[in-house]
Amino acid sequence: MPNDNVFPFLSMLIVIPAGFALVAAAVPRTMGERAQRVMVEVVGAAGMLSTLALAVTMAIRFKLHDGGFQMTSSHQWAPSVGVSWHLGIDGISLFLVLMTAVLFPLALLGGRVKRNPQAHVAWLLLLEAGCLGSFVSLDLVLFFVFFELTLVPVYFIIAGWGYAKRSQAAVKFFLYTFLGSAFLLIGIVAVAVIHQHQTGVLTFDLPALEKTIAGTGTATQILLFLGFTAAFAVKAPIFPFHTWSPDAYAESPTAGVVILSAVMAKLGTYGILRFDLGLFPRATVDLAPYLLTLGVVGILYGAVVACAQRDLKRLMAYSSLAHIGFIVLGTFALTTQGVSGGVLQMVNHGLVTAALFLLIGWIYERRRSSQTSELRGLQRPAPVMAAAFTLAMLASIGLPGLNGFVGEFLILSGTFLSHRWWAVVATFGVVVAAVYLLWAYQQVFHHQPEGENATTRDLSWREGAVMVPLVLLIVFLGVYPKPVLDRITPTIDQLVQSVDQATGTTQPGTGPTTAAPGSRP
Amino acid sequence: MLSHAYLIPLLPLAGFLVLALFGRRIGEPWAGWLGTATVAGSFVLSLVTYGALLGRTGSGREVTDVVYNWIPAIPHSGFQVSASLLVDPLSMTMVLFVTGISTLIHLYSIGYMDGDGDFPKFFLYLNLFVASMLVLVLGGNLLMTFVGWEGVGVCSYWLISFWFGRDSAASAGKKAFLYNRVADVGFLLAMFLVFERTGTLSYGSAGGGGFLGQAASLPPSTRTAVCLLLFLAAAGKSAQFPLFPWLADAMEGPTPVSALIHAATMVTAGVYLMCRIGPLLSLSHTAQLVVSIVGVGTAFVAASIGCAQQDIKKVLAYSTVSQLGYMFLAVGTGAYEAAIFLMVAHAFFKGLLFLGAGSVIHGLHDEQDLKRMGNLRRYMKLTFWTVSVGVVAIAGIPPLSGFFAKGDVLDNAFAGSLFPWKVMWAVGLATALLTAYYMTRLLVLAFLGDDRWKAVVDGGRAKKDPHESPWVMTVPLVVLAVLAVVGGALNLPGHLSFDPLRWLAPVFGPGAFEEHLSGSSQWVLGVVDALVALVGAGVAFRLWSRETERPALEPALLQRSWYLDEVTDATLGRPGQALARMAASFDTRVIDGAVTGVARLTRGAGSGLRRVQTGYVRQYALGITVGLVVLVGYVTFLAVAR
């Protein structure tokens, strides 16, 4: 297969953080604790920033109006078992890669740990390699390897640097997602076997598999779809597979929860979009109403349960459930508008959630608590922190002019075109989001502060430096989402068309000439 | 100038950015002067733009100004939204009075907020509010209007809870945001529906390619649905029944905020929206009927509440709700011009009344209770006279602006045929009686009678004598008082020569009353209006100039705002909290319980594997790592060996 780049961008994207992880792990302990800390942090920052530079270069070189995979890299790896090193990037993965590359250095800088920084940095770098590898893999086994690889660093980060109940949370997270992955593995093997049965070729190459699997019978597709989706639904998480997340989020250290909620959650929604829609279009169309329902239930249920939370991190976990519900809704709307909105929402949710979890982490560092009952009036001693929290909160609520709005609007209006009543019900989720976030804000930042609350430190320069890029991105993507959407929509349009072709459906149009709008047949 | 309309909102936005970055360094009072200057600059720019627009005729008076491509065209559905501004007579009327009043209130705030620790932040919010409000009225499509709509909402939230150290202020801000959020669902759904049916969200009249141009070809059910959904949004923003309780609580904000946002400008956004979609609304009889019934109903209910309030700002708040109801009555009867006329006149006299109330509160050192005021005319002459002008204007006594503006609305209700037996008109007239009554009551309790504030002892110290406010506060009072007097000239009835609001004509057709009412019946109706106003004012004067406690006239039902808060709490608030608690316990017990249950079951069943499954996930994790290494190594080995 031809490689359309002399420079192996995507391979480097994985190799650089993985390599730096090894370097960080190799920093000798003999040099003294302080020197070692500085050293590993410099290594970590260097690794993540060079990855970021690479990702930005890729984004600049990314060709517009091209819905296919770009910068592909394809090498024979283990032809006897059909596994190849096949990487590629398109409108779906480009911004997830960028977001990942942006968030890791921020998580590193914003979530520094006191104890054993060496291992923390090394695990984070390895985790970055795993996340980036998952987003660019076009071989099912390769994807699975990276997808699973992410579990290990996260487990050790939660268990090593987490809060009081860290070990239970880590175990629960690990077992739950591991169980989901088992279904995925079975699904992957089954897909390859079916392909081999039909063509005589054993391969795990996604584009090759799509050609045969997309045409298999609906019953087969549904079984395979369920296997794949089990893993992704747990990872995202999608209602009702979410109960690991409040515990894992609440007990994670700051860097861990930022990556877990902002980046790794997207592995789930990305997996659905990349594999379910491409490989199993018939099952996708048939099961869309159920998945849409799960999305809508997630939106409302997550928001309602969030209203009853008294811990900021648990509140954010349920808030994430609701926001992931929007992504699911957009994906299974199966209109170009809705799915594009879903992809945009993945990026937006990543940025906003990262900002909020960083801020909550910093509050915890100061006050040793993220309970709303113990925090009060922080806006008085910490106005800059309050302003940053307000901005991220408003983006999360979906205030137009900030990034969250554009994605949500495209999702809801795109869903309205194909599945009107799901969109109508989901729109009410927008109200409830405001209820819990404004309530939390009032509890934590309003009122007259007393005692320790009154002397809470405002953001330090380091924390401010972490927040600035996030704030700028949140505003920029809200005011000018065009550069992002221009690169997302060609891929999505191609994807939705391929689903339509495989199932003989068409996505609904708009305007006065549209006949009987409503559900897709 | 018409193609540079974007400068109008950009100027206050620039002020906001400068204040956001350097506000604390600029400090008091220069932050205030900076804010005032940017808004005044906007006002000048809008005057120039207005002049340029007046020079044109017919369809030339509609200019769409695309600033940039906001959401690029989505393949297939063709969804595309520009950050575009629509400059036409309607939007420019709004822009003119918004920037004009904002300039005055910015100036006033320099005096009112004097000495507040967050002085620069106040002007930061205020500037962002003005920028948002201008985007709202200038927006060239529904989504741009929505941007401004939410922007003013969030500024309102910040400004109501400006003194967030007070629990009541923090809660009031949240309440305002949430009521508006509920209503916004209507706005969002309306946009989805409009886009689905017309493929665009741009307004655009017949020639503009927008959805309003396609109004006639839409099915009636769609027209009604869109209008009612947008009316839900409008009812939230403009505090109509049953979504008005937030506005009374919003009085927790500093008084200039109440004057600017919660009386003169933001709360009229709903009326503006309804006028904007007038071409669509006029084609839906059902929607018109709903709008006018809700409007006149709210006008009456709120006026009745205003009669029994004790807090000077609460009286004015309910009065605002009531006047907004009148505006919706006008909109519902198709009299868009009358609605805009009353909106502008109301901005003058209600802005004046709030600023006057602020002057009183300021002078009495934060006293808002009417029953603890009295005889202030001796101490605050200028405030007394200007507030009196405001009261006469809102009461509808000729020849002040309120008489003409309210008369216009009532005449249209009289001539309209939406509802039988002139019920709309009769309820509107009864409301006018109540309006004259409660406003006179306010004036008498605050400015006449005994010096009751002397008897009030706070913390062992008697109040200091009230004082008149500084010039930055009284100049806006005087300017607004003049406008409240002569504002009626904007739209004199009977086709008198001077008629500037006529230039709304390309947007709106003539009102109903001009077609159906003869000159003589207009005279009769005018006399009836004036008599009703005089009766209301006279009764209030008789009842309240000697006596301050008349429990029979202040029943609990009215004092507690028809128990609307209690009803909302019982039907939505407490059940909502209960639902959240139930869902949370469902989540931990049932859903998570199932998960842990399955896990236990597996552990119990697989006794042979017990040793491996002791929960040492470290081992699993290590296993995975080792497994992956082996797998990768094996695969690499194969590749190399090949």
**Averaged over A336-346, what is the pLDDT?**
96
DSSP state of B330: H
Q: What are the Cα distances from residue B571, in Å, to A426, B568, B578?
A: 22, 5, 11
Alpha carbons A465 and A110: distance in angstroms, whole number? 9
Query: Taking CB atoms and an 8 Å cutoff, what residues of chain A touch B628?
Result: 145, 148-149
Higher-pLDDT residue of B282 and B61 is B282
**Could you tell me the CA-to-CA distances from B204 to A84, A482, B65, B214, B263 in Å, in that order?**
55, 23, 12, 9, 29
Angstrom distances, CA of residue A521 to CA of A43, A286, A513, B220, B436: 55, 10, 18, 26, 61
- Asked if the C-beta of A305 comes within 8 angstroms of chain B's C-beta atoms, the answer is yes
| Chain-chain contact of B189 with A447 (C-beta, under 8 angstroms) | no
Give chain A positions within 8 Å (CB) of B577.
Answer: 307-308
What's the DSSP call for residue A481? -
Residue B311 scores a pLDDT above 70: yes
Among B129, B159, B587, B618, the strongest candidate for a mutation testing the A interface, having the largest count of A CBs within 10 A, is B587
- Pairwise CA distance, residues A420 & B567, whole Å: 32
Who's near A413: CB < 8 A, 6+ residues apart? A337, A338, A341, A423, B79, B191, B192, B195, B196
- Write out pLDDT tens, residues B355-407: 999 988 888 888 888 888 888 888 888 899 999 999 999 998 888 888 888 88
CA distances from residue B587 to A100, A293, B29, B439, B581 in whole angstroms, order as listed: 30, 18, 53, 54, 10
C-alpha distance from B323 to closest chain A C-alpha (Å): 28
Residue carrying the six token digits 């000798």? A28
- Sign of the CA dihedral running A75, A78, A80, A82: negative
Q: What is the pLDDT of residues B18-45, one digit of tens each?
A: 999 998 888 888 999 999 999 999 999 9
Contact state of A243 with B642 under an 8 Å Cβ cutoff? no
pLDDT of residue A158: 92
Is residue A275 within 8 A of residue A331, CB to CB? The reply is no
Find where tokens 């904000």 sit.
Answer: B253
Interface residue A18 vs chain B (CB under 8 A) = no
Q: Percent of chain A having pLDDT more than 70?
A: 97
Tally C-beta pairs within 8 A across A and B. 207
Measured distance CA(A101)–CA(A238) in Å, rounded: 25
Q: Could you report the predicted ipTM of this complex, rounded to two decimals?
A: 0.93
Tokens standing for residue B113? 């907020």
Strands (E), B147-221: none
Rounded CA separation A117/A119 (Å): 6
pLDDT band at A521; cut points 50, 70, 90: very low
Q: Which two tokens stand for residue A100?
A: 């990942």
Res B574: pLDDT: 84
Q: For residue range A120-145, what is the model confidence (pLDDT) as tens digits?
A: 999 999 999 999 999 999 999 999 99
How far is residue A115's CA from residue A109's CA, in Å, rounded to a whole number?
15
Collapsing DSSP to helix, strand or coil, A280 comes out as coil
User: CA Rg, chain A, in Å?
Assistant: 22
Spatial contact of A143 and A207, defined as CB atoms under 8 Å apart: no
| Cα–Cα dist B245/B66, whole Å | 38
Reported as a single tens digit per residue, the pLDDT across B210-233 is 888 888 888 999 999 999 999 999
Give the residue among A135, A128, A99 at the shortest CA–CA distance from A477. A99
Q: How far is CA B323 from the centre of its chain?
A: 12
Q: Which amino acid is at B163?
A: W
Domain boundaries, chain A: 294-521
Q: Do you know the residue count of chain B?
A: 642
Q: B103: closest CA among B534, B618, B472?
A: B472
Banded pLDDT at B498 (limits 50, 70, 90)? very low
Return the ∠ at Cα A46 (arms to A45 and A51), rounded to 5°: 100
Q: Which is nearest to B216 in space by CA: B269, B260, B270, B279?
A: B279
| Chain A positions in Cβ-Cβ contact with residue B580 (cut-off 8 Å) | 304-305, 307-308
Instruction: Residue A323: name the closest of A241, A249, A264, A261 by CA.
Output: A261
Which of A69, A233, A66 has its CA nearest to residue A136?
A: A69
User: Could you say which residues from 69 to 108 on chain A have a Cβ atom under 8 Å away from some Cβ of chain B?
Assistant: 76-81, 83
pLDDT of residue B495: 40
Per-residue model confidence (pLDDT) at position A96: 96
Which residues of A are less than 8 Å from B182 in CB distance?
431
Q: Which residue of A has its CA nearest to B585?
A: A305
B178–A438 CB contact, under 8 Å: yes
Half-sphere exposure of B479 (CA within 13 A, CB side): 17
**Cis bond before residue B399 (omega within 30° of 0):** yes
SS3 sequence of B574-593: HHHHHHHHHHHHHHHHHHHH
- Backbone phi, psi, residue A165, to 5°: -100, 40
Cis (ω within 30 of 0) for the bond into B242? yes
pLDDT tens for each residue of B330-346:
999 888 888 988 999 99
Q: What is the pLDDT of residues A25-42, one digit of tens each?
A: 988 888 888 888 999 999
Average pLDDT over residues B465-483: 86
Q: Which amino acid is at A410?
A: L
Q: Is A62 on the interface with B (CB under 8 A)?
A: no
Query: Residue B51's closest CA among B110, B96, B100?
Result: B96
CA B159 vs CA A439, B126, B156, B412: distances in Å: 17, 8, 5, 36
Out of B75, B197, B587, name the one closest to residue A512 (CB).
Answer: B197
B620 pLDDT exceeds 70?
A: no
Q: C-alpha B570: how far from its chain's center? A: 26
CB atoms within 10 A of CB B413: 30
Residue A68 has pLDDT above 70, yes or no: yes
For A483, the token pair is 């550069």
Q: CA nearest A151: which of B610, B591, B628? A: B628
Task: Among A170, A423, A435, select the one facing B192 at the smallest CB separation.
Answer: A423
Residue predicted with more confidence, A396 or B519: A396
B498 token code pair: 């001077």
Nearest to B108 by CA among B600, B474, B437: B474
Q: Is A243 on the interface with B (CB under 8 A)?
A: yes
Average pLDDT for residues B278-287, to the nearest whole number? 90
Distance of CA B231 to the CA centre of its chain: 13
Helix, strand, coil shares of chain A, percent, nearest 5, are: 75, 5, 20
